[in-house]
Every structure is written in C-alpha cells, then in structure tokens.
Structure 1
Amino acid sequence: MVPHLITALTGPINELEQRIIDSMPATERWFRLEWMEHTPPFYTSVDIRNAGFKLAPVDTNLFPGGWNHLTPEMLPLAVQAAMAAIEKICPEARNLLIVPENHTRNSFYLSNLAQLQRIFNMAGLHVRIGSISPDVKKPLVMDLPNGESITLEPLLRERGRIGLKNFDPCTILLNNDLSAGVPGILEDLHAQYLLPPLHAGWSVRRKSKHFRSYEEVTKRFGKVLGIDPWLINPLFGKCSDVDLTSSTGLEQLQTQVDTLLGKIRRKYKEYGINEKPFVVVKADNGTHGMGVMTVRDAKELAALQPQTLASMAVSKDGQTVHDALIQEGVLTQERVHEAVAEPVVYMVDRYVVGGFYRIHADRGSDENLNAPGAGFVPLAFHHSTQLPQPGARPGASAPNRFYMYGVVARLAMLAASYELEATDPNAEVYD
C-alpha cells in the first residue's frame, strides 16, 4: 500500500516534483561530480517536511538509529551500499565492531542494532557489538520482541586498538552520537577506521553549521534546477550564550525569533501563502527530540513558565543548552492512517537505501513528531515500480515523490560532508 499523500494532486510541490523529475540526468550528474570532490558520511538519515508549497529537511542524523523500521525489501539495497562503502574504506575488512549507545534496555534500539548487524554481516563481515557502558561488564544476551537476540560485550582497549575478547576489528562503526562527549577509549586509535569520525559527534557538531552548509548546497543546486532555493531550504538563525534556566539571553532569543518570522512572512507574501508562519527553537547540538519548541510570536517566549524553560535548557544525556538554533517551521501536510506524518530517508555512503514515515496521532502539522507516542510506517513502493517514472503526472507516482525525497535527503547528506570537512581536526589548512 502506498501511503495517502494529501498533497498528491494539487499545489506547487507538484511543480517542484516535475522540475526534479525532468532534470534527473542533470541532477544525477551534479551529484556524481560532487561525490568526486567530497566524501559522503558513512551513513545518514534525514527528516523531511512536505508543506505542499515547500519541501525541506529539518534534521540530519549522522549516527542514525531506527534501521529496524526498514522493511526486508529494502535490505538488498542497504547491503549493496554497505559493500560499496566498506570496499572504499577497508577492502580487506573481515571484522566490524559496532559501538552502540548506552541505553541497553531499549528494545527498539536493540532491534536497530540487530538490523545493522544483519546488513553488515550480509555484506561479508563478521560483526559483533562492543559497549562502552559501565553496566556491561561481561557478555550480555538481550532478547528482542521478534524472538531474536543480540549479544553486547564489554569493549576492550589494548596497544592503541579497541575490540573484544578474541576479536580484533579493522573497522569500528559508531552508532553512538557522542552527546555526552568523546570517551577516552575511542581516542587516538592505531590503524583502525572509526566510522563516522569523532568530530561527527554532537560534542563537536552544531546544527547551525550544518544548515549553513545546506544553504550553500541549495544555492548551487537551485541554479541547476532553475528554482528559488527557499523551496527546499528552511531559513534559520542562531542564538548564542543562552541560559534558559536563568532567562539569560531570552531577549536576544526573542529578537532573533522576531527577525526570522519577518523573513518568513516576506517569503509567504511573495508566494501567496496564507499559512501563519512559525519557527522551531531547539538546541544547536543534538536534541534527540528533546527541548524542541514551536513559536509563532516572539512574545510567547516571555510568557513561558519556568518549568518549560528548564525543560528547554537540557538536551540528550543531560547536556546544558548554551546555543539555540532558530529554524523556519515547515508544516507537514502528509497523513498516514489519519496521523500527521513526515518522511525519514536512510542512506549508506551516497546511496538512498530506504526510509519510513514517522507519524504521530497526537501532534499537529506544525509540531515536532520525534516525541514519545510516535509510530513508523515504511515508505511503501510497488515492487515493480521502485524507479522514478518520467512522464507520469505530477503527484500521481509514489516512486516519483519518493525520488524527490531522496534528492532532498542527498542534498542534506552532501551538506553534512561539507560540514565534516570544515570541522576535521586532521585537515590540512592552507593560507
């Protein structure tokens, strides 16, 4: 079943879809040339919002969980992409070690690890999972809801290399976004490939840097398609030195919100859009869906209760928020099973391998869906029509719509590669 898209047959998004489908050869050549100059992140997931009048990414994850939501039909693509990625980095690779997040009791996350283990095992690697959690002192067998089980083992370090007892990997796959900082056991590894690199973690990474890179990418891609980059790019601002527990920086935040709302109003007027603009305020480092606030008027910030401000002041792993990203709010006009939905696209290396809709029955079209109560529905394809269909009526072909999502997701992935190059501590600097 193809999920019902309520924007399927009307609205400017169809013009964008038509432009992208018609420009497919130029688009694919443009990406091909970009990947000759830049290295894609090892794996990526991108949250996308379809407002009907614009389509834009709102978050890019370089340590994606949720692989368990990909269907068996999507696995062949994921395995092929994994093979290509490993061959580029370590062609002789035999052993791969996955280093997970520390929340070992979350069955959904454990199912995600099992899926990753399955993908890389089918790509020709021996795969084991090594935990840095202090709670994992010996091999721990964890049962999964589907009747399978996985084994977590304590990570060991010896002579500058990490591994497990009787297991010495050449490649380490991080599925831990390092929100709490980089543990010493992962630093200064000898002759081992760490994927993604440590500077991709939230101890270094900032959303504002990512969306600055994305803005640059969309300006260049917009010229290829002949479109206004705003149609695929959320406007944003950054507010530094904020301490919401003491209201420090709150006036500055209000000013920034007001300025961005003004820019969005001008764009809405230019395109004849009658929706009420809004912004989303969130931590500039990874939030994991925490501390995300929708604001339609800067005055709302002054009226916030102390407990609301306190919840906004802390992100994942108890990290204090000092810098805030203010992002143009993008409505989602899609519905699956009558619930508000947003597509999430998954990539390995430079290839789109699948995805799903994140749905939330209790959230509105202008709210964050990455919250407790969210559900997941695979991005559905008819088996015989997975490829885009040039010539199909705009909005009438689900593969065409999903191809468009894949293009936007790859633009975000390319922006992430720019971002990682700019923050690489080992990159050579030329005057």
Structure 2
Amino acid sequence: MIPHLVSAENGPVLELEQRILEAQPAIERWFRLEWMEHSPPFYASVDLRNGGFKLAPVDTNLFPGGWNNLSDEMLPLAVQAAMAAIEKICPEAKGLLLIPEKHTRNTFYLENLARLTQIFHQAGLKVHVGTVDEAITEPTSVQLPNGDSLLLEPLVRGKRRLGTKDFDPCTILLNNDLSSGVPASLEGLYEQYVLPPLHAGWTTRRKTTHFKSYDDVVKRFAKLIGVDPWMLNPYFAHCGNIDFHERQGEDCLADAVDTVLGKVRKKYKEYGIHEKPFVAVKADAGTYGMGVMMVHDASEVKDLNRKTRNKMSVVKEGMEVRDVIIQEGIPSIERLQEAVCEPVVYMMDRYVVGGFYRVHAERGPSENLNSPGMHFVPLAFDEQFNVTHPDAKPGTNGPNRFYMYGVIARLALVAASYELERTDPETETI
C-alpha cells in the first residue's frame, strides 16, 4: 500500500527518491562502513514527515511500542533481525526477560508485547514478561482482544541478576522508556545484558542531543548523494530553564522560535516554496506525542493560556518539562483515504523490519498526528523493502517509496548510535 501523494510529478522528494535509487549500491556500502565502526541500538522506530519538498525524521524512539501495528508479512524480517541482534550480544542466550511499561489496561500496548514475545520466541528464545508494576504481586494472565492471553510476572531481584520466579535470563529487553526514572531493580546488573542501555531512557536522553548527532550524519550522507542536507533534516534549537506554569523562559522560547522560522523562510524563498513556515515546540524528553504545540509566529509562545501551559508543563509519568526543542515543522502531503498520515519505520539491529502509517482524519497537514483519534495502517507490500525497481516512475512504486523511507530512518538509527556512544556514562569524555 502506498499513500496518495499530493505532489507534482517532478517535486523535490520525487527527485530525492530517484537519487536514492540510483545511489543504492553506494548507500548500502556507506551504511555497512558505519556499522563496522558503530553499534546500532537494539531496536528503534522513526517518525518521518514528507512535505513534498523535503523528507526528514521528526522523532526517534529507542523503546518502540507499536510492534502490533506491523503487518504479518513483515514478521519474518523481524524474526531474522532478532536472531542477528541476539547472536551479536549473547549468542548462547536461551531466555529473554521483557520488561514493559505499566500499561496493564492498554490492550493495544499489550498486543505490542504479545507481538514482541512472538518475534523472540520464533527467534529461538524463551520469553517471560516481568513487570515493574508493584500492583502485580503474582503471575497474572491478561486477556487480549484476539482471544490470546499474556502472562505478566513480578520481578525477582537477586544480588546481581534479575528475573522472575524460576527464570534467570541472559538478556533483559526494556520496552519501558524509563520516563519515571530507573527502577532500583534495574541498577547494578553487571552479569546480564540490559537492552537498550539505561542511559537510552528519557531519564537522561534528550532529543536535541539526538538531532545534533543527526546533523553530523546527514551532512556526510547528503554529500554522498549530492543533495542539500536541508532536504533530509529539520532545523532546530533548544531552550532550557523553562517553566510553563510560572511563565519562565518565554523570551528564550520566543527568540528560538523566531530564529528557526527565519532560517526556514530563507530556505522556502530559495526553493520557491509557498507554504507558511511553522515549528513544533516539544518537550526535550518524552514520548507519546505529549508536550507538543505547533507555532507559526514567535508571539504565540507568549502569554499562553492556562490549558496550553498545563499541556506543555507535564508529559508522560508526570515528568516536568524544563527543556524544549524547537523543531522546524514539516507539513505532511501524504494521505490515506483523504486523511493526513505520516510513515513510521521500525528497525531491529541495523535492519528495517516494517512500518505503518499513523493516520489522523481530524488533523491537518501541519498538526501533530500522534494524538487521540489516530489509527494505524500497516505498510503491507508484496515485496521486501529492499527489492527496489529503479526503472519505475518516482512516486508510483511501493517498495521504492518504502526503501527511501528506510534509508532516512536508518540515518536516524546511525545518529542514535552516535548519541548513545557520546552519552554513555562509562565512556563519556569532557
């Protein structure tokens, strides 16, 4: 399935697709060399926005929670990638402990856990789901909408190891982004692999750090294929010491908004783009589309009403917002059945294993689609994403379009590997 693209036949993104297809051998070699020097995150998902004049990532999640939204056709890719990832880290592994969020009532999230359990079971591992939810004190079976069930077990912490009753795994996989902090049970586990590492969680991770790394990556990649890096990269700025309730940091925020909008206006003028520029002001840490507002003018961030201040001041798990990223907004021209959508690409190890469209019928092309009312449509192609058709007309071939999505998503994955190396508390340098 490929969305209806409201763009000219010779639009910049279609030209970008052609460039990427023509450079496929060089691109794949470039990625191979990167992975010889850097380790990819264990898994990740990347939200992309296609404005017709540019295609860029706007968010990279290192604890992806929508595996249930991938099509069944993509499952073999995920299993193969899981095998490769586990073999690199703990080839003798027999068991894997999956630690989820506390969303015991969110059936969509539970289906995500069931899909992850299925993937790693088929990769040859015994999988237990151990929860940090203190309310679960004994093994608890939860029914899923499709009739299956999922067993949630309380964690059992030893001196140096973590498991469940009678289950002592080699590897611990977090599907919990640590927004509320690192549980004591996860600290000091020097005899087990914890994936992703604890410093990948939102307790310490910042979006601006990620996009600084992405800047470095995309400049080199854009030179490789001969395009303006801006076509693949949103401008951004950072503001700290924000307190939306007390209206602290408004001047910094207004100046940053004005600066980013000014840079975008220059690019729009350079390329003859007639859209109205906007920025997304986001909490610098956090997920689930919380703590986000779209701004078209610096004056909009002054004297915010109480509802907006409340929305921006606290994100998931009650985490207070003190830092924000001001990111160039990219209007989405992609549509499914007339509803605005954006592609989300899923990866495990260094492999693209699937994706879906986040679709929102009640939101416009310049709005946040990661909000209540959204739904998901799997990227379901007849062929694998890397089976491209270079002779096909740009914008008309599903695998070609998905391959382009995958290339941009993998650039964000490389950036995440740089980011994790630079922020590793055991190797960080001044």
Question: TM-score normalised by the shorter chain: which range applies?
Answer: over 0.9
Whether the 8 Å contact between 2:278 and 2:294 is mirrored in structure 1 is yes
Residue equivalent to 1:91: 91
Q: Which amino acid aligns with 1:293?
A: M
Alignment partner of 1:63: what SS? coil
Whether the 8 Å contact between 2:114 and 2:150 is mirrored in structure 1 is yes
Whether the 8 Å contact between 1:8 and 1:395 is mirrored in structure 2 is no
1:385 offset after TM fit, Å? 8.1
Residue equivalent to 2:406: 406
Which aligned pairs between 1:336-347 and structure 2 lie closer than 5 A? 336-347=336-347
Distance 2:383 2:325 in 1: 40
Residue equivalent to 2:58: 58
Distance 1:120 1:58 in 2: 29
Residue equivalent to 1:377: 377
Q: Does 1:323 align with 2:323?
A: yes
Residue equivalent to 1:185: 185
Residue equivalent to 2:307: 307
Which aligned pairs between 1:157-196 and structure 2 lie closer than 5 A? 157-196=157-196
Distance 1:40 1:103 in 2: 27
Distance 2:56 2:384 in 1: 28
Whether the 8 Å contact between 2:422 and 2:428 is mirrored in structure 1 is no
Alignment partner of 1:56: what SS? strand
Alignment deviations for residues 103-136 of structure 1 (CA, whole Å, 9 cap, x no partner) = 2110000000000000000000000100011111
Which aligned pairs between 1:13-412 and structure 2 lie closer than 5 A? 13-383=13-383, 387-412=387-412
Distance 1:406 1:173 in 2: 24
Distance 1:4 1:369 in 2: 17
Which aligned pairs between 1:410-425 and structure 2 lie closer than 5 A? 410-425=410-425
Percent identical across equivalent pairs?
63
Distance 2:8 2:336 in 1: 13
Whether the 8 Å contact between 2:385 and 2:400 is mirrored in structure 1 is no
Alignment partner of 1:169: what SS? coil
Moved more, 10-19 or 315-324: 10-19
Alignment partner of 1:65: what SS? coil
Q: 1:428 to 1:340 in 2, by over 3 A?
A: closer
Distance 1:152 1:286 in 2: 25
Aligned-residue Cα RMSD (Å) equals 1.3
1:295 offset after TM fit, Å? 0.1
Q: Which amino acid aligns with 2:47?
A: D
TM-score (norm 2): 0.98
Whether the 8 Å contact between 2:358 and 2:377 is mirrored in structure 1 is yes
Distance 1:287 1:244 in 2: 18
Q: How many residues align?
A: 430
1:387 offset after TM fit, Å? 1.0
Q: Which amino acid aligns with 1:325?
A: I
Alignment partner of 1:357: what SS? strand
Alignment partner of 2:4: what SS? coil
1:7 offset after TM fit, Å? 3.2
Whether the 8 Å contact between 1:5 and 1:334 is mirrored in structure 2 is yes
Q: 1:384 to 1:114 in 2, by over 3 A?
A: closer
Alignment deviations for residues 360-401 of structure 1 (CA, whole Å, 9 cap, x no partner) = 001110011111111000112124886111122111211111
1:9 offset after TM fit, Å? 3.5
Q: 1:263 to 1:248 in 2, by over 3 A?
A: same
Q: Which 4+ runs in 1 deviate beyond 2 A? A: 1-10, 382-386
Alignment deviations for residues 148-180 of structure 1 (CA, whole Å, 9 cap, x no partner) = 110000011012100000100000000000001
Q: 1:205 to 1:373 in 2, by over 3 A?
A: same
Distance 1:26 1:384 in 2: 20
Alignment deviations for residues 174-203 of structure 1 (CA, whole Å, 9 cap, x no partner) = 000000111111001031000000000000
Instruction: List runs of 5+ in structure 2 lacking aligned partners.
Output: none
Alignment partner of 2:322: what SS? coil
Distance 1:208 1:396 in 2: 35
Alignment deviations for residues 68-97 of structure 1 (CA, whole Å, 9 cap, x no partner) = 011110000000000000000000000000
Q: Which amino acid aligns with 1:424?
A: D
Q: Which amino acid aligns with 1:142?
A: V
Distance 1:205 1:385 in 2: 30
